[in-house]
Structures are given as structure tokens and as C-alpha cells.
Amino acid sequence: MALIGRTTASFDAIKPVPDLVKLDNEFNQLVGANGILNGGSTSNRQLTKYNHATEPVIECDQLGAGLIAQFKQSGVEKARIENDGDLVSNGITTAAGVVTFGSIPVGPAADCTTANQYARKAYVDNRVVSFSVGFLISDPSTVTVNNRDFGSFIVPAGGTYTFTQGKIMFRSGSHTPGGSLVFKIEQVGVGDKSSLGLNDSLNTVNTVYVDNFVDFSAAENAIFSAYLSSRSGTITERNVMVVIEGFRTVF
């Protein structure tokens, strides 16, 4: 094991030291007013160099119950290595191999590529998958009001389904002034979630009209249906599509 020390090439015990000034200067760099070991130095710093294939540059062997190492700035602790090897450093704590962060850590600007790598927020956000479910009403002038004849959507397993808005359009036909259609999309057992209309203001073929309702999530096996809640006037719109859409988080 290497030791920090001063090597004297030759020493004659009966010969007095010829010059104490140089010797004082050397030790003052360590313990003098400007020494590196007493905190007074602004020009000297400690640098240890060691060249060995198996031994460490510095070895700290705590034989008692105290800390292995402690690091301070102006007397205030900034980091320490505790007796059991746990590291506490500026909001980061390790205990038995588990790291706890005092604030959200910031990772590199790169996506994870293997199973055990951490994922950044940007990566998670990009895993959101949009979806839409449409209910086709070919001829709304003849369908029965308040009848659920247009199929149902059942929320599948896997991920969280969040619904964000409803949409309506008609693909053919035209609008007759005074005609009005109101469609509802309901969650069975819960109630209506979206109201969508075609009328004198919403009346252009192949144009999408949006009901931007408050976002909500639905559990697996939740059922959604569309129905015509009211109709008045002459209805000449055809191939009406009523849509509910949102996004699915995959994990």
C-alpha cells in the first residue's frame, strides 16, 4: 500500500539542517496559514496521483460506526457516504440499492431501447395512441328516435382509454332549411357523454363538426352507443357519421 510521505534521499543524523526556510515552506503548504489541509488556501489544492493496476488511488477504511466520508461546503454537508455504504447527496438518497430522488431526474435526450432502461416523459407521451369509434346512420329521416340501432363500442382490455370529443358529419345529401337532427352518444349505465347536431348552422356536406366535451376515462367493458334524440323539419342529410374519439395510454 502506498503512503503519502516525504522521501529523503540521504540523511546524516549528526549534520544540522542547512536551511529551515525551504523545509518550513514545504510543510506550510500543508498546514500553514495557506495550507491545503486547514482551509486557508486559495492557490494550493490537493492532487493525488497514483499508478497501479489493482489498488485504488485513495482507500478509506472506517473501523468504527461513523460515516465513511463526508463532504461539506462552507461547513454545510452536501454529501456523505454512510457506514453501510448508502450515499446521500444533495437530494439523492440510496438505501439498500434503491435510489430516491428529491426532485424529478432529467435524463438524456434519447429514447430507451432495451427492457430495463428508463423512459423519459417525451417517450411516454409518444406512446399515446389516438382512436375513434364511428356510428353510421344511413338515413336519419326514417330511423326511430331514441332507438339504439347503430351498434355499440365496448372498451377493450389493456391501457387506459380517455375520451376527448365527439364529431358529426354527413357524407351525402344536403341540408333543408329548418331541418334539425340531434344525436347523443351515451355510456350505458352512466348517461349521455356527447351531443351532436345538424341544423341551419351546421349544415355543410363533408364537413366535420365537433363537440369538445370535458375529457373522461372509461374502464374495460364500458359500453358506448349512439342514438337520435330529436328530429324536426325535413331531413335530407344522408350517411351521417357520429364519432367519439380519444386516446389510449399503453402503459
**Within a domain: residue 143?**
yes
Task: Tell me the residue type at 187.
Answer: Q
Q: Domain range spanning residue 79?
A: 66-105
Q: Is residue 23 part of a domain?
A: no
Is there a domain that residue 148 lies in? yes
Residues 147 and 245 in one domain: yes
According to the model, what pLDDT value does residue 21 have? 63
92 and 134 share a domain?
no
In a domain, 56, yes or no: no
Supply the pLDDT for residue 97. Answer: 79
The answer to whether position 60 is within a domain reads: no
pLDDT of residue 185: 98
Residue 212, in any domain of the structure = yes
What pLDDT is recorded for position 14? 58
Total domain count, the chain? 2
Amino acid at 173: G
Q: Report how far residue 167's alpha carbon sits from residue 136's, in angstroms, rounded to the nearest whole number.
A: 12
Specify the pTM.
0.56
Position 10 scores a pLDDT of 60
DSSP 15-41: SPPS-HHHHHHHHHHHHSTT-TTTT--
189 in the same domain as 92: no
Is 188 inside any structural domain? yes
Identity of the residue numbered 169: M
pLDDT of residue 11: 54
Within this chain, do residues 193 and 240 fall inside the same structural domain, yes or no? yes
- Look at residue 44 in the predicted model and tell me its pLDDT: 74
> Cα-flanking dihedrals φ and ψ of residue 233, to 5°?
75, -165
Tell me what pLDDT residue 118 has. Answer: 85
Same domain? For 154 and 232 the reply is yes
How much is the pLDDT for 13?
57
Produce one character per residue of 217-241: b if its CB has 16 or more CB atoms within 10 Å, e if not: ebeeebebbbbbbebeeebebbebb
Q: Is residue 18 part of a domain?
A: no
pLDDT at residue 30, rounded to an integer: 74
Are residue 243 and residue 158 in the same domain, yes or no?
Answer: yes
Alpha helices in 80-207 (DSSP H): 121-125
Task: Report the chain (251 residues): mean pLDDT per 10 consecutive residues.
Answer: 52 60 68 74 81 92 94 90 88 83 84 87 82 96 94 93 97 97 97 98 98 96 97 98 92 63
Residue 71 shares a structural domain with residue 144: no
